[in-house]
Chains A and B, each alone.
Chain A
Amino acid sequence: MSTFLGMPAAPPRSPYGTGNLRGDRKFPKAAHDELRNEQLRRNLGRATRTIRTKRLGVTGELPDWEQLRDAGSAIKTDTMNRLPELLEQLEQKVTEHGGTVHWARDGAEANEIVARLIRATGSSDVIKVKSMATQEIGLNEHLESIGITPYETDLAELIVQLADDKPSHILVPAIHRNRDEIRQIFLDEIPGVDPDLDNVPAHLAAAARVHLREKFMTTKVAVSGANFGIAETGTLSVVESEGNGRMCLTLPDTLITVMGIEKVLPRYQDLEVFLQLLPRSSTGERMNPYTSMWTGVTPGDGPQDFHLVLLDNGRTAALADTIGREALNCIRCSACLNVCPVYERTGGHAYGSTYPGPIGAVLTPQLAGMDAAKDDPNSSLPYASSLCGACFDACPVKIDIPSMLVELRHQHTEQSGTTAEKLAMKAAAGVMKRPKLFTAAQKGAALGRIAGGPSGTISHLPAPLSGWSDSRDTAAPPKQTFRAWLASAEGAATMSAAAEEGARRTADDHKEDR
């Protein structure tokens, strides 16, 4: 085949995303520390169990829940298949309604755009609500570095921000904190807070409210995320529980929304499906308390200056991959986190990314890469799962997370060159494809009886199996394999006796039939 001059040999690949999409340690190492935090384990266990139970209650009561999931999945799949045209339509509609659309290739570009827009207002403060996207790109850190102070207004995000902590859950960012800890954080970090503040949730919320009200009344610029952007009308939407988001979205003069490009929906009508799927899956509520929608600007009502920053940051790269494309269907409800036994024990920080839990283990390597050959911490994420499948059952848009994890593991081993594990796997397959060798290996395994000693149990195994034997005994292999038993006189006699009984039973059954 001839090549055109100037024609690249391979199509250009979209760049991976930047920002808070990579931890500094691999999952097992990070999990090691988190597992030792007894308080965290208790907080997470209690919180996820409560949300799990509530979710099962409210999803179970809908007779058409499965059809809703199918509809959600179909709409998202359709969206991803024609993302470019939908985004252009969204841009056109937002512009028609007096908004301004900005396109950001990566985190750095998005941060610069937002900073420029805030600077143009002359404000050195900004209030923020509901944005995984700005967490992903590290907007707060960027703003602080140039002298702009961001104030988180979502209660949980405020707690995380005041404690100089990181969110550990998509929906409940402060899930790892209990009330006593929150009380102490408020006492230490909120200026002028009542020194006699106790740990009663209502009192904690009141303290936060006093602090936040002042910010709402005095800050002229807000940054928000978006749960949905409707291509058909140019409408943006945020769903939340506290009303702080609505304050943010309506009171300031300038509103800047940062939205990942995958959050677009084709039609206004599609909201019907997602406004049922999202709250039921995430908080276990039939309807979230506040759903805010805005379309461009309305003279005399709400912010008079509206900007939409459409963020790529690795999403186009993910879209080009079949697994990545399905992962982009995620509506960030966190149902998969709440049912995941691994997340429940380790918490979100162990995943090292803004997106923790099962969907994070799929999405993060897609957005930011997982260079196995370079020992990237992200390359450990596909293995941070027992493949129990609870996430797939819980996902409101039916993302097959376990199969995607298996596929990512395959990509990982294909990237990683020759490793001891690969050699062992090849060797095992080599034995298992030859029955004679397999039988010989079984005999070898039976020799493991010696290691079992008189007790018949093995309590220490060499690396890499030492992690297993730290908490589990291993029974010594039995004397005889099944196939050896079947070939033995005893096996033959047992099977023929069973067959005779079977023949008698069958004959009796026939008699009864007659």
Chain B
Amino acid sequence: MRIGLFATCLGDTLFPEAVKSTAVLLARLGHDVVFPPDQTCCGQMHVNTGYQREPVPLVRRFAEQFGDASIDAVVMPSGSCAGCVRHQHEIVAERYGDASLRAGVATVKAKTYELSEFLVDVLGVSQVGAYFPHRVTYHPTCHSLRMLRVGDKPLKLLRAVEGIDLVELPEADSCCGFGGTFAVKNAETSTAMLQDKMRNIATTEAAVCTAGDSSCLMHIAGGLSRIRSGTRTLHLAQILGSTRIAPYALTEAAR
């Protein structure tokens, strides 16, 4: 399959390791990974903060970069960006776009996936040959859970990882408090939510808290770092990308 990789603006700039793992993993599974070079951002931050005119060029760019018929699927290591492409690009195109943009949006929407749903639903694999001998807890990010309905697909993938000690996160379904600009506009409420999430993470005694969104992890990691917690965060793709031959070195990576 020819897969168009969308790095997401945040992944490309601040969390390249998660994107590298995604690219390598898909190639290792025998797929042709292409990176349309003019890709930038899905525009989620704009739409969710209340701006729908401004992201029109971003929505158009996304449709142009990934609309090519030679690309069978568009995959990204982010539930919220996939949610934006699938549910919000249409809203922007309907309101401020033209017929060609609406058509382009519909084309990419139909083939856009978050990593775990692509692996499990489209490729039909849950065993990706990963090796990760550490105690891990999984936080299902809100947009993966409720916008994309990924359900237990990430857990299916994690359970199949060799050597992993997967522990359930109490109150896993509650939001970590990130919410994009919510964490800035309502910083104190966001912090209160983060504190409860960190308390739940602490009870698992996991070495790693993983999730399918770098943005939520950035917020959780920021909190864990501030309280000097022993737990660190790692994107789901990085755990799935860790193998016996090239295992992810947890100690080296921990700052």
Contacts and interface: CB of A to CB of B under 8 A. Distances in A.
Interface of A: 27-28, 31-32, 35, 41, 341-342, 345-346, 382-390, 392-393, 403, 406, 408-413, 421-422, 425-426, 428-429, 432-433, 435, 438, 442, 445, 455-457, 459, 464-465, 467-468, 470-475, 477-478, 480-483, 485-486, 491, 494-495, 498-499, 501-503, 505-506, 509
Given A35-B192, A467-B184, A483-B7, A445 B20 contact: no
A229 to B, nearest CB: 33
Size category, B interface: 35 or more
A390 B146 CA distance: 8
Given A28-B188, A455-B255, A393 B24 contact: no
Nearest to B191: A471
Contact of A473 (B29, B181, B225): B225
A52 B24 CA distance: 42
A35 B39 CA distance: 41
28 contacts: A383-B186, A386-B142, A386-B190, A388-B142, A403-B87, A406-B48, A406-B91, A410-B50, A426-B54, A432-B58, A433-B40, A435-B38, A445-B14, A467-B184, A472-B222, A472-B226, A475-B221, A478-B16, A481-B16, A482-B7, A482-B19, A483-B12, A483-B35, A485-B16, A502-B27, A502-B30, A503-B30, A505-B30
Q: Return the 9 tightest CB-CB contacts between A and B, nearest first.
A: A467-B187, A386-B179, A472-B222, A409-B50, A389-B146, A388-B175, A498-B27, A433-B57, A502-B30
B201 to A, nearest CB: 14
Interface string B190-218: 11111000000000000000000000001
Nearest to B146: A389
A79 to B, nearest CB: 26
A428 B46 contact: yes
B146 A435 contact: no
A342 B192 CA distance: 9
B144 to A, nearest CB: 10
Given A389-B143, A480-B16, A494-B20, 10 more contacts: A28-B188, A345-B192, A383-B185, A390-B174, A425-B49, A455-B255, A456-B255, A465-B184, A471-B187, A473-B221
B133 interface: no
B226 to A, nearest CB: 5
Contacts of B180: 387
B240 interface: no
A502 B58 CA distance: 33
A412 B49 CA distance: 10
Nearest to A372: B50
Contact of A485 (B20, B175, B182): B20
B71 interface: no
Q: Is the interface of A mostly helix, strand, loop or mixed?
A: helix
Contacts of A459: 226
A387 B226 CA distance: 25
A387 B184 contact: no
Contacts of A388: 142, 146, 174-175, 179
A390 B58 CA distance: 28
B175 A346 contact: no
Contacts of B194: 471-472
Contacts, number: 217
Contact of A483 (B25, B37, B179, B190): B37
B37 A502 contact: no
B209 to A, nearest CB: 14
B189 A342 contact: yes
Interface string B1-45: 000000101011111110110011101111111010111110101
A146 B140 CA distance: 55
Given A467-B187, A502-B27, A413 B50 contact: yes
Given A425-B54, A429-B46, A432-B40, A386 B193 contact: yes
A80 to B, nearest CB: 22
A387 B48 contact: yes
B182 A475 contact: no
With most chain A CB atoms within 10 A of its CB, the pick from B13, B47, B61, B226 is: B13
A472 B219 contact: yes
A408 B47 CA distance: 11
Nearest to A470: B187
Contact of B47 (A406, A421, A468): A406
Contacts of B41: 432, 438
Chain B contact residues: helix, strand, loop or mixed: helix
A88 to B, nearest CB: 35
A435 B225 contact: no
Nearest to A477: B14
B255 A27 contact: no
Nearest to B17: A478
Q: Which of B33, B61, B185 has the most CB of A within 10 A?
A: B185
Given A388-B175, A506-B30, A478 B14 contact: yes
Most chain-A CB neighbours within 10 Å: which of B16, B23, B43, B91? Answer: B16
A430 to B, nearest CB: 8
Given A389-B142, A502-B28, A31 B38 contact: no
Interface string B49-64: 1111011011001000
Contacts of A474: 218, 222
Given A383-B186, A406-B48, A445-B13, A502 B223 contact: no
Contacts of B49: 409, 413, 421, 425
B183 interface: yes
A499 B186 contact: no
Contact of B54 (A382, A384, A429, A485): A429
A512 B192 CA distance: 53
A313 to B, nearest CB: 26
B177 interface: yes
A423 to B, nearest CB: 10
A482 B12 contact: yes
B175 A386 contact: yes
Given A342-B186, A421-B49, A477-B13, A495 B179 contact: no
A31 B40 contact: no
A43 to B, nearest CB: 15
A481 B13 contact: yes
B142 to A, nearest CB: 4
A494 B27 CA distance: 10
B61 A433 contact: yes
A310 B172 CA distance: 44
B175 A390 contact: yes
B188 A32 contact: yes
A421 B181 CA distance: 11
A406 B28 contact: no
B226 A475 contact: no
B173 interface: yes
A345 to B, nearest CB: 4
A428 B45 contact: yes
Contacts of B147: 389
